[in-house]
Structure 1
Amino acid sequence: MANDPFTQAFIRKYASRTVARDQIPMETYQAHKVSQGLRDEEGNGLVVGLTNISRADGFESVDGKRVPCEGKLWYRGIDINDIISGFTQCRFGYESAAFLLLFGDLPTQDELNDFRDVLDSQRALPPHFVRDIIMHSPSNDLMRMLTRCVLSLGAYDDNSEDTSPEYVLAQSIKLIAQFPQLVMYTYQAYNHYIKGNSLYLHRPHTNMSTSEILLSLLRPDRKYTDLEAWVLEVELILHMEHGGGNNSTFVDRVVSSTGTDTYSTMAAAIGSLKGPKHGGQILLVPEMMEDLAENIAGPGDMAGIKRYLSALLDHKAFDKSGKIYGIGNPVYSISDPRAEILRKYGEKLAKAKKQNDVFDMYAAVAELAPKMINERGLYHKPVCANIDFFSGFVYRMLDIPPELYVPMITVGRIVGWSAHRIEEIVNGKVIMRPAYESLIPERRPFVPIEARHEGGK
């Protein structure tokens, strides 16, 4: 924002005029049958493409009618519950899930070993990259720093404009391998130069899982437990992909359809995820729950929890938005399978961390809030706790600072973005270009400047 009084006054004056000119009533959207958010009044997403990568369902057809059902999520046709339970004896669940999403099948042991070796070989950042790009201009906005890092990596790629599937796959694997460092080094730069804490820049070791690398790069002593690493692995896998219809993946495919490079595409996707209506939601749940804890007698105060949730819905508590953050999802109705899985492993971690009471409070809200919202009929469908509801709690138990909550999502989602970019390149023959219906009723005359009046009057 400009700091001189004249410019500030000008912007304030004309910003209000712009808002007044651009405002379109909801009734107008309805009259023209335009679905805001690319979803109709029943919550159905408008179909803009096809994908073989994943599928998310919150409804099913019964006797020809669309009815709510328990949420389901498949990666390449395999139920996410089976994927997580099948990986419990495997240190490299993230890498196995990434292989599945990128190549379409679960890896054999030899394939997984080869994929891990390739990832390890691609982790190194360019010479002086950390010093010149990350340390040179730290910021308290880690997502913006991450965007800058990704765009800067394109300058080190002599063939950055090559959009052949083979080369895009090579770029994607390199980014997947480097994202843990990009995320943690940008945080360490912020933590040192802006917050004034000690600077720790560890190098990733070989033969470590992605979750182990993240925890070892974050913590000064590099130590972590097997349970901590596995629970983080679960969260990363759950954030990898979500049916192709989420905003950042849509951005990924729209930008890919233009024929632009991988780095520009991923930077655009990061910018989407950064938004408070998308990945930014994860930050609000812990803040809301802290406020709840301060306004009840204790975790077992069910009456107090109900009163607080009612106050939230009545615009009288927390940020007075009328929302219970972490509740509701455009796709799911009765349950979000990602939230159910994370709740299960979050409870295990809570027991190990002796935070059972806090978990019980989260669990109580996850049960009560959907019922209270549904009883009030606030939405056109049933709602449930979503993955964001438990994510921040899990990160907090892992001693991951709030500044990293959204960037951590990118470590998982870079895999899904990569898979969708490749699928779009393989199948997309034309640029995606939606239509906007103009509301301009008729032509306006061009008025000479000496005859004009302020505000067009």
Structure 2
Amino acid sequence: MKNLQDIYKEHEPDNFIEPSLYPRYRVKQGLRNDNGTGVKVGLTKVSQVVGYKEIHGRKADLEGKLIYRGYSVDDLVSHFDQDNLFGFEQIAFLLIFGALPTKEELESFHYELLTRATNTMTDFTYKTSSILNAMQIGVLKLYGNDENPDNDTLEHRMLKGIHILSSMPLFVFSYYTDVHAKTFWETYPKPDKSFAENILYMARENRKYTKKEVSLVDKLLIVHADHGGGNNSTFADVVISSTGTDIYSCIAASLGSLKGPKHGGANLKVYEQFEYLINEVGLTCDEDVLMDVCNKMLDKELFDHSGLIYGIGHAIYTKSDPRAQIIKKECKELAIEKGLMDTFNFFEAFEKAAIKTMKKRKGITACANVDFYSGFAYRMLGFRKEIFTPLFAIARTSGWIGHHLESRQNDRKLIRPANVYVGEMKKVEGILNGKD
């Protein structure tokens, strides 16, 4: 009897699609136009990503902007003073409800966000090697415990979404302490603390943290909260929302998308890249040394031999990624507090060397993306690399909820694109009736 893996390998040529067929049939691979811009597939009021403008079909680079409900994220962050530890709550409210909260509305939202998790089931840890898969299971288990999970009113979908967002840190840190920590400690959130404070409170057995650490976590949550409707996990959410299914299924699908290394897993790749480079060349700021490293990486001679410099470049941003700039500023302040300026200076010097090398080698304008500094941020905060992407997922849940509600409110038409069949027509051969 043949092994099925061997049989499948023998039939791999039957499943291969010649790359030249895509342009022949005018198929937009990755839903990308020929000039690299995204194919327009929908309308949204939730958020916007700006990195270029189109002039007569050509891209003209612009300074990057991330806009939540009409507000520049830079402007939003600049209005949070140093004592305001509730920035993420205000951003999540904005994305979900459509407007900035009043003081009374923020109090109500914060209360719901930090108390609904206490009504979540108590068995959080599952036999899986991935925290993101454990989060998916947790979200679907919330569906199982919901007395009316398919209630289709927008108000009920919103409340279910808040319950999911409230439970996300609990899923992450219950799994984290059970699997990775030497001892288990209680991980329920504290309603008197901000969402960002609770992240650190739940992550640390000694419960200690500084205001600058909270500020950095808060900014990480804010910049990861949403990124337009076209990113893969949000698009997955919108596609599935268009079927009319429950919000639990939509968020679970988005988590599956975010797990992919081409999407949410990028911050981990950046972290591993810098672990490797620091071991190779030390914390040097010598431009010649760093440009030589960049050239070798592009030549597939260093790190993972992919020919990529992780953390540099973005599909939309070219001149600047506003998220990276916000996190970079916060990282510098925390690096000063922790005595890690040598490491920060290395990151900054490498950023400049990589951008210069990309321009010289490929003739393109590139910038550090959000993943460049977020890995360093998580490292300074003492998080294990296994929870980098889950922390991203906690924040992005707020955006997924906003897009889900928008899709259902506007009764978006069922998303059903077309594929072009390029296989051969065949006559029947082989066994169909179970006999030789």
Q: What is the TM-score of this pair, normalised by structure 2?
A: 0.95
Partner of 1:82: 75
Q: Are the counterparts in 2 of residues 54 and 73 from structure 1 also a CA contact under 8 Å?
A: yes
Q: How does 1:53-92 map to 2 (within 5 A)?
A: 53-61=46-54, 66-89=59-82, 90-92=84-86
383, 391, 407: which is aligned to 2:374? 391
85, 105, 111: which is aligned to 1:117? 111
Q: How does 1:250-261 map to 2 (within 5 A)?
A: 250-261=235-246
Equivalent-residue separation in structure 2 for 1:120 and 1:290 (angstroms):
35
Deviation at 1:238, TM superposition (A): 0.3
Partner AA of 1:282 in structure 2: N
Deviation at 1:234, TM superposition (A): 0.1
Q: Are the counterparts in 1 of residues 170 and 187 from structure 2 also a CA contact under 8 Å?
A: no
Deviation at 1:428, TM superposition (A): 3.0
Partner of 1:439: 422
Equivalent-residue separation in structure 2 for 1:358 and 1:64 (angstroms):
42
Partner of 1:409: 392
Partner of 1:134: 124
Q: How does 1:272-311 map to 2 (within 5 A)?
A: 272-311=257-296
- For residues 21-67 of structure 1, the C-alpha deviation after alignment (integer angstroms, 9 at most, x for no partner) is 22222221122221211112311101110000010011025688531
Partner of 2:338: 353
Q: Are the counterparts in 2 of residues 176 and 414 from structure 1 also a CA contact under 8 Å?
A: yes
177, 188, 200: which is aligned to 1:215? 200
Equivalent-residue separation in structure 1 for 2:400 and 2:64 (angstroms):
22
Q: Are the counterparts in 2 of residues 54 and 74 from structure 1 also a CA contact under 8 Å?
A: yes
Equivalent-residue separation in structure 2 for 1:87 and 1:428 (angstroms):
35
Equivalent-residue separation in structure 1 for 2:55 and 2:30 (angstroms):
27
Deviation at 1:71, TM superposition (A): 0.6
Equivalent-residue separation in structure 2 for 1:262 and 1:220 (angstroms):
33
Equivalent-residue separation in structure 2 for 1:69 and 1:120 (angstroms):
39
Deviation at 1:446, TM superposition (A): 1.2
> Any idea what SS the aligned residue of 1:340 has?
helix
Equivalent-residue separation in structure 1 for 2:408 and 2:8 (angstroms):
40
Deviates more, 1:231-240 or 1:12-21: 12-21
Q: How many residues align?
A: 434
Deviates more, 1:412-421 or 1:362-371: 362-371
Equivalent-residue separation in structure 1 for 2:127 and 2:210 (angstroms):
30
Partner of 1:21: 14
Partner AA of 1:325 in structure 2: Y
Partner of 1:155: 144
Deviation at 1:337, TM superposition (A): 0.8
Deviation at 1:382, TM superposition (A): 2.7
Gaps of 5+ in 2: none
- For residues 200-224 of structure 1, the C-alpha deviation after alignment (integer angstroms, 9 at most, x for no partner) is 1233211211111110011011111
> Any idea what SS the aligned residue of 1:205 has?
coil
Q: Are the counterparts in 2 of residues 274 and 280 from structure 1 also a CA contact under 8 Å?
A: yes
Equivalent-residue separation in structure 2 for 1:79 and 1:37 (angstroms):
28
Q: Are the counterparts in 2 of residues 54 and 75 from structure 1 also a CA contact under 8 Å?
A: yes
Identity of matched residues, %:
36
Deviation at 1:448, TM superposition (A): 5.2
Say whether residues 1:103 and 2:90 are aligned partners. Answer: no
Equivalent-residue separation in structure 2 for 1:245 and 1:178 (angstroms):
25
Say whether residues 1:45 and 2:38 are aligned partners. Answer: yes
Partner AA of 2:413 in structure 1: V
Partner of 1:3: none
Q: What is the TM-score of this pair, normalised by structure 1?
A: 0.91
Say whether residues 1:93 and 2:93 are aligned partners. Answer: no
Deviation at 1:334, TM superposition (A): 1.1
Q: Are the counterparts in 1 of residues 85 and 196 from structure 2 also a CA contact under 8 Å?
A: no
Q: How does 1:324-363 map to 2 (within 5 A)?
A: 324-363=309-348
Deviation at 1:236, TM superposition (A): 0.4
Partner AA of 2:80 in structure 1: F
Q: Are the counterparts in 2 of residues 191 and 199 from structure 1 also a CA contact under 8 Å?
A: no
Deviation at 1:187, TM superposition (A): 1.1
After superposition, the Cα gap between the structure-2 partners of 1:82 and 1:18, relative to the gap in structure 1 and judged at 3 Å, is farther
Equivalent-residue separation in structure 2 for 1:11 and 1:88 (angstroms):
61
> Any idea what SS the aligned residue of 1:26 has?
coil
Deviation at 1:18, TM superposition (A): 3.8
Q: Are the counterparts in 1 of residues 267 and 389 from structure 2 also a CA contact under 8 Å?
A: yes
Q: Are the counterparts in 1 of residues 237 and 253 from structure 2 also a CA contact under 8 Å?
A: yes
Partner AA of 2:43 in structure 1: L
After superposition, the Cα gap between the structure-2 partners of 1:41 and 1:375, relative to the gap in structure 1 and judged at 3 Å, is farther
Partner AA of 2:144 in structure 1: A
Equivalent-residue separation in structure 2 for 1:297 and 1:160 (angstroms):
53
Equivalent-residue separation in structure 2 for 1:64 and 1:140 (angstroms):
46
> Any idea what SS the aligned residue of 2:354 has?
helix
> Any idea what SS the aligned residue of 1:34 has?
coil
Deviates more, 1:72-81 or 1:360-369: 360-369
Q: Are the counterparts in 2 of residues 285 and 389 from structure 1 also a CA contact under 8 Å?
A: yes
Cα RMSD between the aligned structures? 2.1
Partner AA of 2:273 in structure 1: M
Deviates more, 1:93-102 or 1:103-112: 103-112
Partner AA of 1:121 in structure 2: T
After superposition, the Cα gap between the structure-2 partners of 1:255 and 1:319, relative to the gap in structure 1 and judged at 3 Å, is same
Equivalent-residue separation in structure 2 for 1:172 and 1:428 (angstroms):
18
Partner of 2:180: 191
Equivalent-residue separation in structure 2 for 1:222 and 1:24 (angstroms):
54
Q: Are the counterparts in 2 of residues 297 and 304 from structure 1 also a CA contact under 8 Å?
A: no
Deviates more, 1:401-410 or 1:99-108: 99-108
Equivalent-residue separation in structure 1 for 2:133 and 2:202 (angstroms):
20
Equivalent-residue separation in structure 1 for 2:8 and 2:360 (angstroms):
40
Equivalent-residue separation in structure 2 for 1:409 and 1:106 (angstroms):
22
